[in-house]
Amino acid sequence: MNEIPKPAAGRTSTGARKASAKSDRSRAREFALQALYQYIVGGNDAQSIDTFTRELSGFHKADSAHYDALLHGCIAEAAQLDELIVPLLDRKLEQISPIERSVMWIGAYEFKHALEVPWRVVLNECIELAKEFGGTDGHKYVNAVLNGIAPALRPAEVEADKKSGKAR
């Protein structure tokens, strides 16, 4: 009989990171994703979403300052973030899952504003979010779009990775 492979340490059977293995910033991204989903799907205002999200179980373990920056920054810059994303899409923006769109907003926003976070970390965190919350292959789509945006927003880092052989 074939044995079922065990997940890597810190991972669930689906390959997602276990809650105990997540950093406070990773948790902030998860809560921001949930909040942005409410914004896109429900059309709720940012303050109502923020109040609701802060009351969710586990929020106290998140980096609230990073969450604030992501939620309010992505909403404030939604049109500019969409302008970065749309040229890389193979379909209309309205056809993109709200989860994947939210993850792409988070990635593009962090590329622009969280310069202390290496671009590869931003990319990997967004892929993880899409794997955990998005559709079956949504993470591949998110990866392709964010890899397309990164050279415009983080040219020096991307170029340095290409020269060192780290770029995908």
Spell out the per-residue pLDDT of the chain, length 168, in tens.
Answer: 444 444 445 544 445 445 556 899 999 999 999 999 999 999 999 999 999 999 999 999 999 999 999 999 999 999 999 999 999 999 999 999 999 999 999 999 999 999 999 999 999 999 999 999 998 889 999 999 999 999 999 999 999 988 887 655
Angle between helices 98-113 and 64-76 (to 10 degrees): 110
- In the three-class reduction of DSSP (H, G, I as helix; E, B as strand; rest coil), residue 90 is classed as coil
CA pair distance 108, 114, nearest whole angstrom: 10
Q: Which two tokens stand for residue 3?
A: 């044995």
Q: In the prediction, which pLDDT does 14 show?
A: 45
Smallest CA-to-CA distance from 128 within 33, 9, 6, 64 is with 33
Among 41, 64, 69, which Cα is nearest to 53's?
64
Q: What is the per-residue pLDDT across 35-78, written as a single tens digit (0 to 9) for each?
A: 999 999 999 999 999 999 999 999 999 999 999 999 999 999 99
**Hey, what are 113's tokens?**
């504003």
User: How far apart (Å, rounded) are the C-alpha atoms in residues 123 and 93?
Assistant: 20
The burial class, CB within 10 Å (0-12 / 13-18 / 19+), for 145 is buried
For the whole model, what pTM was predicted? 0.85
**Structural domains of the chain, ranges and CATH numbers in brackets:** 22-164 (1.10.940.10)
Q: What six digits make up the tokens of 40?
A: 């896109």
d(CA 57, CA 11): 21
H/E run at residue 147: helix 138-153
Written as six digits, the tokens of 74 are 């992505």
Question: How confident is the model at residue 145, as a pLDDT?
Answer: 97
